[in-house]
Chain A
Amino acid sequence: MKIAHSTRNRLGFTLVETTVALGISSIVFVAAITASIGLQKSFNAIDNFFATHMQQIRIIDYLSRDVKRGLIVTTSSDLQSVSITVPKYIIQAGDPEAVANPSLIGTPRTPTVSYSRSGSQVNYGSSTSSVVYAISGQSILRTENGVVTTIASATDQLVPQWTDVELANTEYTSTTVTFLPIFTSANATAERSGTTVCATAYLRNRRRG
């Protein structure tokens, strides 16, 4: 008597088939994991690139804002720090006006005019504020009258240049900021230069000093 075998019973996985399937699955799984990790790294790199780029813009914007309202702008000989003298527009605690009338703290000053041999000049109070931008490690610090603010981190090569062009009756600063991205090839110099952001800001005040 012939024993009937069902088709289902005859279709089992052999050891070889199972092994091959497991191998292929493992490869696919590893590929997926690798791709995920790669994407995560890529995400970090892109996010870091964008974030650092925004910090570059922030540095430029900070500098531009202060240079425009500045009375004097000077740079260090290594072009790694900038010192700006700005008018004291807002009355602050300890200022002579504030001592005489504390309610004036936090209010704008009315400008005054003084005269010298070189002409007239506009003053906001009897003193000025000092703002210094400097690189500290991987950060750029802004110090205004002793108060330090970190305006950017992991960004370097702040390169401001101050030029006095009397014939053009103006003065301006030219600033370059670069950073080194996370993903770099062997030529790191080119990688850095590719991130260069430049800006020029003109001093708006006629007074110098």
Chain B
Amino acid sequence: MNQPQSGENANVLVCALCTILIVSMIGGSVLLNCATRYNAASNQVRGWKEALHAAEGGGDIAYAQVRNTVMDPSHAFAGWTYTGGVYANTPVTFGSNLTTSSTVDIFYYDAWNGNPWYRIRSRGTAPVRGLKRTGMDDRMLTGSRGDSLLRKVDFNYDHFIAAYGPSGDGTSKAIIPVAQPQITRRIEQVCAPITPFEAAIKCIGTFYGLGDAAMIDSFDSRNGAYYFAALSPNDPHYSDSRSGNVEIDTAVATVRGWIYGDVATNGGTIVRSQYISGTIDNNVPFSVERYYLPTNLPLPQPSPAAVTSTVIITPPAAGTEANPTLYLLSSLSGQLTINSFGSQKTYVALHVTGDVSGSIDTKPLVKAKIFVDGNMDVKGRDIINESGIAANLQYYAISPTDPSTMQHININPPGNFAAVFYGPGADVSINGNPDLTGAVVCKTFYANGNVSWHYDRELGLEGDAVDYRITSYVEDIR
């Protein structure tokens, strides 16, 4: 009987094993190749997205500082460097080795209200993990590139600084090595000031008013003087006549009189809706921040130091919205007249560290802002705005250091007036039946008379910044 030798059988077994080995190697290399390139591409996508998150995070950090300029001026840009008109912070690291840095500068002063507009430039850098290799791109079409046109990875050097310079303006170009492969993205955002007088009356506490025969309507002084058009749909200024809005941040609201505009409360119930021409929304919570004296005011004039009798001021220069002539007064209980600088539009600011009980007469070309640390007790006839434009006489009640300190603005009869009042910490009371043009922002509001209240739509652009919003966003895609 023939007995096969084991060495002869192994021939087939070895062949089979080799075949399996070869096939396995092919399969392994297939998976390895696919997965590696896919992982490299995925890591680049991840880094690209994370770089934007980092840049936007840096933008948020800078935006918080911009808001601090009005909400917490003493701490705005604390820890930042200031060189050549530009604030800069040290790079911040967070998340999975993301870094971000920002610069902030004022690029424009508002033509209407003098408030600064801020430009935030921020950049975010994210590491690109994995192998130093291109992703699954650049083989898409002959002569066309894919990912590398979109996602610019710095494998060895920072391509942006090499090609465009650190500021992107072509200066100071340099070959800067990078510690590890990375992606950097750069964004630029613009912060615009939010002005306070967006409604006829804005109240964060209890509200009562006006009288049953009172009326709130609106007009636009840029179109000419006020006249009643709220009931004349064919009037060319009808569309401007129904913006006498009232905003109340509580449910405790007694709204009376005719309102040609919208009414908003925070949980209130409007029962006299037939007297309201616009929208009623009882679910509009909002907040009004404390008000601080602006930090960008110039040095005050040496005199007068107080107004206790008749005083006439003629500023030494016309000034500008952003740079008015400032007077520092310890009290204002007399009669103050503010003249214009020649025939020029003249910008004046008063800082009254005490109470205001006297009168102010601003001449037609004068635009005055009065910052008051204390209380105001005046009559309507004490507010003499000869231009008739409410924006030309602005009162600001600076919030008391101690929030529990009461602050009030009382306006009593007789007299009509045109002015605006911003007092987020003040209780406002208007008595009598004045015809007034303007707007009020206050803590609580009370008015019991048949007031004829005309909100000037131009006021939407006027006033000191009370907050900032991002209005523009661009990315430097180079």
Q: Are B140 and A152 interface neighbours, CB within 8 A?
A: yes
Q: CB < 8 Å: which of B16, B23, B147 contacts A39?
A: B23
- With A115-B112, A205-B473, A206-B469 known as contacts, the answer to whether A61 contacts B34 (CB < 8 A) is no
Is residue A183 contacting chain B, with contact meaning CB distance below 8 A?
Answer: no
Interface check A93, CB cutoff 8 A: no
Q: Is A46 touching B149 in the complex (CB atoms < 8 A)?
A: no
Q: Is the CB of A54 within 8 A of B30?
A: no
A69-B475 in contact given A11-B2, A36-B26, A58-B146 (Cβ < 8 Å) = yes
Q: Does the CB pair A206–B472 fall under 8 Å?
A: yes
Contacts of B27 in A (CB 8 A): 39
Given contacts A61-B45, A206-B472, contact A35 B461 (CB under 8 A): no
B12 at the interface (CB under 8 A from A): yes
Whether, in the assembled complex, B166 has its beta carbon less than 8 Å from a beta carbon of chain A, the answer is no
What chain B residues lie within 8 Å of A35 (beta carbons)? 23
| B144 touches A (CB below 8 Å) | yes
Q: How many A-B contacts are there with CB distance less than 8 Å? A: 144
Find chain B residues with CB under 8 A from A127 CB.
none
Given A11-B2, A205-B471, A206-B471, answer yes or no on A107-B141 (Cβ-Cβ < 8 Å).
no
Contact call B45/A124, Cβ cutoff below 8 A = no
The reply on A98 being an interface residue by CB < 8 A is: no
Chain B residues whose CB sits within 8 angstroms of the CB of A113 once the complex forms = 108, 110-111, 117, 192
Judge whether A32 and B108 touch: CB under 8 Å: no
Q: Which segment of A21-29, A76-84, A173-181 sits at the interface?
A: A21-29
Rounded to whole Å, the gap between the CB of A207 and the closest CB of chain B is 7
Which residues of A55-100 are within 8 A (CB) of B? Answer: 55, 57-58, 61-62, 65, 68-69, 86-87, 89-90
Q: List residues 22-39 of chain B with CB under 8 A from any CB of chain A.
A: 22-23, 26-27, 30, 33-34, 37-38
Residue A193 is within 8 A (CB to CB) of chain B in the complex: no
Contact flags A115-142 to B (C-beta < 8 A → 1, else 0):
1000111101000000000000001000
A157 within 8 A of B: no
Task: Check B168 for interface membership: any CB of A closer than 8 A.
Answer: yes
Distance between Cα atoms of A119 and B106 in the complex (Å): 20
**Which residue among A25, A50, A121, A207 has the maximum number of chain B CB atoms within 10 Å of its CB?**
A50
Query: A42: nearest residue on chain B (CB-CB)?
Result: B30
Do A111 and B461 contact each other (CB < 8 Å), given the known contacts A39-B27, A55-B140?
no
Whether A11 and B5, one on each chain, are in contact in the complex, defined by CB atoms closer than 8 angstroms, is yes
Map CB proximity to A onto B157-191 as digits: 1 under 8 Å, 0 otherwise: 00000001000111000000000000000001110
Is there an interface contact between B34 and A32, defined as CB atoms closer than 8 Å? no
Known A32-B19, A39-B26, A122-B192: A87·B474 in contact at CB below 8 Å = yes
- The residue among B30, B136, B189, B474 with the most chain A CB atoms within 10 A of its own CB is B474
Known contacts A28-B16, A149-B144: A68-B475 contact under CB 8 Å:
yes
Bitwise, A180-207 to B at CB < 8 A (1) or not (0) is 0000000000000000000000001111
Q: Nearest Cβ in chain B — how far from A209, in angstroms?
A: 13
Q: Tell me whether A61 and B48 are in contact (CB under 8 A).
A: yes
- Answer whether residue A101 sits at the interface, using C-beta atoms and an 8 A cutoff: no
Q: Is the CB of B150 within 8 A of A50?
A: no
Residues of B within 8 A of A (CB): 2, 4-5, 8, 12, 15-16, 19, 22-23, 26-27, 30, 33-34, 37-38, 41-42, 45, 48-49, 107-108, 110-112, 117, 119, 135-137, 140-141, 144, 146-147, 149-151, 164, 168-170, 188-190, 192, 460-461, 469-478
22 contacts between A and B (CB under 8 A): A11-B4, A11-B5, A21-B12, A46-B34, A47-B37, A54-B38, A54-B137, A57-B45, A69-B475, A90-B476, A106-B164, A106-B170, A107-B169, A111-B472, A115-B112, A120-B471, A121-B471, A122-B472, A149-B144, A151-B149, A204-B470, A206-B470
CB within 8 Å of B: which residues of A?
10-11, 21, 24-25, 28-29, 31-32, 35-36, 39-40, 42-43, 46-47, 50-51, 54-55, 57-58, 61-62, 65, 68-69, 86-87, 89-90, 103, 106-108, 110-113, 115, 119-122, 124, 139, 149-153, 204-207
Closest 3 interchain pairs by CB? Answer: A204-B473, A122-B472, A43-B30
